[in-house]
Amino acid sequence: MDLRTKIRNIKDFPKEGINFKDITTVLKDKDAFKECIDQIADQLKDKEIDIIVGPEARGFLIGAPLAYKLGAGFVPVRKPGKLPAETISAEYELEYGTDKLEIHKDAIKPGQKVVVVDDLLATGGTVKSTVSLIEELGGEVVAISFFIELEFLKGREALEGYEVNSIVKF
Ligand code: PRP
Ligand code: MG
C-alpha cells in the first residue's frame, strides 16, 4: 500500500505558504492505519525497547499503538501544566519564540531503552527537546521514528548522532 497517497495535503494551513500534511485521512482508514503502525514497527523489530515516548498530541496517535504492538510501555510528553505528578521541562524553538514540553520525573528509569515516536519531522525541534528530557532522566534513546519526514527542512541534521527512521518522505 502506498501510504503517501493516503496523506491529505491542505494548502495554506495553518497559515499561508504552509502545505499541511493531514494524517487524519490515514488514521480513519483501518487498512492504512494498520499499515502505518506495522511499517514503523518493522523498522524497530531488532531492537530491545522498554519505553516508547510520544510528544503531544499527534505523537500519541502513532506512539501508543506502536507501543502496544511492540510490547513496550508508553510515556507521554506534554505541553506545560497537563501532567499531574512532578515533572521536568525543556524549552524548544518555534518559528516565533519558544515553547515548553514536560515529562513526569519518574516516567523513565536510568538505563531504560527508549524510542521516540512522532507523526512528523519538520525542523526537529519537538523531538530534540523530547530527547533531552529522556536523557536528563537517564534513558537511552535507541531510535527516533516518524511517520512523515519533510526532508527539505533538514530536521534530520538537528538529530545527528541518533538513528532516525521515517516511512514517507516529502
Ligand atoms: C507538529 C507535529 C510534530 C511537530 C514537528 O506538532 O505533530 O510534533 O509539529 O515540527 P518540528 O519538527 O519543527 O518540531 P504541533 O506542535 O503542531 O502540535 P500537535 O502534535 O499537538 O498537533
Ligand atoms: Mg506534534
Round to whole Å and give the CA distance between 89 and 82.
Answer: 12
Q: What is the pLDDT of residue 68?
A: 98
The closest of 52, 51, 64, 60 to 79, measured between CA atoms, is 60
What is the phi/psi pair of residue 60, to 5°? -70, -35
Q: What is the pLDDT of residue 92?
A: 86
* Residue 20 CB–ligand 1 contact under 6 Å: no
Q: What is the pLDDT of residue 13?
A: 95
Listed by start position, the domains of the chain span 47-169
DSSP 112: -
Contact yes or no for 93/150 (Cβ under 8 A) = no
Would residue 32 be called left, alpha or beta, if left means φ above 0 and alpha means ψ between -120 and 50 degrees? alpha
Q: State which residues of the chain have pLDDT below 70.
A: none
* Atom 18 (ligand 1) nearest CA: 57
**How large is the ipTM?**
0.99
Furthest-apart CA atoms within the chain: distance in Å: 44
Q: What is the pLDDT of residue 94?
A: 78
Q: What is the pLDDT of residue 107?
A: 98
The closest of 152, 148, 158, 162 to 125, measured between CA atoms, is 158
What is the assigned CATH class of domain 47-169? Answer: alpha beta
Q: What is the pLDDT of residue 93?
A: 81
For the question of residue 56 being annotated catalytic, the response is: no
